[in-house]
Amino acid sequence: MKKTFMGIRLRRFREERGLTQVALARALELSPSYLNQLEQNQRPLSVPVLLKLNAVFGVDVQQFSEDDEARLIADLREVFLSAPGETPVSTAEIRELAANMPAVARTLIALDRGLRDQRERTEALSIRLGDDRSGTFRPAPMPYEEVRDFFYARHNHIDELDRLAESIFESCGDDRDLVAALTQRLESGHGVRVAIDKDDGGAQRSYDSAARVLRLSSRLQWGQQAFQLATQIAFLEARSLIDGLASESSFALEESRALARIGLASYFAGALVLPYSRFLEAAEALRYDIGLLERQFGVGFETVCHRLSTLQRPAARGVPFFFIRVDRAGNISKRQSATDFHFSRIGGTCPLWNVYEAFTSPGRIFTQIAAMPDGRRYLWIARTTSREAGAYGAPEKTFSIGLGCDLRHAERLIYSRGLDLTTPEAATPIGAGCKVCERDHCSQRAFPAIGRSLSIDADHRYFEPYRQD
């Protein structure tokens, strides 16, 4: 295991609890001198000490993990790339700040986001008042961005909803058809009648609260029916919990809070159809083979990938995944992370990423070892999914689903078979989008990174990739 020095975090933990070094050392069964060396970064924080912290104080060891540090580094890099100043902040300085002063780092990130929000609101107001001095218009933060940050801050795992959903699944019985069990639960427990609607108008689910009738589209398959039934149960049986979670977050917009409730209900539905312990056990046994998990649980590729990205229960963690859904134009419609992988909030993604290559062969799974500019490497899986349009001539919805994890977890996945996991040069160099990517020599660069100027030669020609052939 890589040596991990977390002295300042350990000292902060001790001071927050009002403990002296002697008192903490006694509680952890360490000598005061050894604890002092840990706090001074003269010794690495070992696994036994972390486990002791968890056992004695109930501390989530995630706050001492490298993954949490990498998340901070990714966010800090964007803060300093867009910050004014003649002297750039180096990656080494950013790493030092994230490792030793995480609270300060999070404060800087929060201040930067607040500044961006205020700037965008001011520009939007100027547009409405006819005073567009900036010459550009950037809308205020969208509700979906606030909700995305809400889930990102929780590593895409809502333990309260997970456990409630799992208990409801267990009450349905092992030998029962889940759709039939959930249908009966709605009827007997809530007086809600379930009807199959052949003339659905494109809606998968509609609920008439006055008549207490839940209508499901006749086009839904078994797994989709179960998910929609579970969503309705979320609004009936988990509403107080969902409302509480949505109210705890400091959403700037009421629309964000409403969208968060929908997201939390969908999370609950996924947790009910794919109960945590059973799904994690199957995923580990099948080496995270998505196709086999689809068949075992009767759901689709996207649903399995989405659920895999949520398996972060402290006492039983799965592989920490990053889940993303994009369309052919590069629009990201879903992005959930249980890991440190982080794409830019400023905009854009990388054309070298295999989520775009997946569109060339619909239905085929693509694998890729990808390296970010900071040297971290990831295993990525990508495949397209399509949704039937229904009516003749209507355009079909096609997306590319990406599922990625840190390379150190790759051997747990069936998709690592045959890949070179040890040679750094075998990885495809990708970035977080041209606006924040630090790679100077990239054949796919569309424009320079923020704060960098174009390179022009003596003949007033752009250097690659700007030179025109």
Look up the CATH architecture of domain 141-273: Orthogonal Bundle (1.10)
Residue 4, pLDDT > 80, answer no
pLDDT at 127: 47
Let me know if 289 is exposed, middle or buried by CB neighbors in 10 A (0-12, 13-18, 19+).
middle
What DSSP element (H or E) covers 256? helix 254-273
DSSP letters for 138-185: -PPPPHHHHHHHHHHHTTT--HHHHHHHHHHHHHT-TTS-HHHHHHHH
Count of Cβ atoms closer than 10 Å to residue 187 Cβ: 14
Residue 305, pLDDT > 80, answer yes
Residue 304, pLDDT > 90, answer yes
Task: Give yes or no for a contact between 456 and 462, defined as CB atoms under 8 angstroms apart.
Answer: yes
Q: What mean pLDDT comes out for the span 35-48?
A: 83
For the ranges 76-90, 92-106, 223-237, 401-415, which has the lowest average pLDDT? 76-90
Residue 424 DSSP symbol: G
**Could you tell me where in the chain the CATH 1.10.260.40 domains are found?**
7-64
pLDDT at 178: 94
b/e string for 49-61 if b means 16 or more Cβ within 10 A? bbebbeeeeebee
pLDDT at 464: 47
Highest mean pLDDT out of 38-42, 56-60, 391-395, 398-402: 398-402
Q: What is the mean pLDDT of the chain?
A: 83
pLDDT at 469: 44
Q: What mean pLDDT comes out for the span 66-70?
A: 66
3-state SS track over 47-110: HHHHHHHHHHHCCCHHHHCHHHHHHHHHHHHHHHHCCCCCCCCCHHHHHHHHHHCHHHHHHHHH
Q: Which of 79, 102, 82, 110 is nearest to 9 (CA)?
A: 102
Residue 187, pLDDT > 90, answer yes
pLDDT at 191: 96
Chain segment 313-340, per-residue pLDDT in tens = 988 999 999 999 999 988 888 888 876 6
pLDDT at 267: 96
Which token pair is 184? 């009966």
Query: In the chain, what percentage of residues exceed pLDDT 70?
Result: 82
CA–CA dist 414, 130 (Å, integer): 58
**Domain covering 7-64, topology:** 434 Repressor (Amino-terminal Domain) (1.10.260)
Q: Judge if pTM exceeds 0.75.
A: no
Residue 455, pLDDT > 70, answer no
Q: What mean pLDDT comes out for the span 86-115?
A: 81
pLDDT at 137: 47
Chain segment 247-291, per-residue pLDDT in tens = 887 787 788 899 999 999 999 999 999 999 999 999 999 999 999
Q: What mean pLDDT comes out for the span 17-24?
A: 88
pLDDT at 300: 94
For the ranges 82-91, 152-161, 188-197, which has the lowest average pLDDT? 82-91
For the ranges 58-67, 289-298, 377-386, 441-450, which has the lowest average pLDDT? 58-67
In this predicted model, which residue has the larger pLDDT, 368 or 12? Answer: 368
pLDDT at 123: 58
pLDDT at 451: 58
Residue 23, pLDDT > 80, answer yes
Q: What mean pLDDT comes out for the span 14-19?
A: 84
Chain segment 353-381, per-residue pLDDT in tens = 999 999 999 999 999 999 988 888 999 99
Q: How confident is the model at residue 234 (pLDDT cuts 50, 70, 90)?
A: very high
Chain segment 374-424, per-residue pLDDT in tens = 888 999 999 999 976 666 667 788 999 999 999 999 999 999 999 999 999
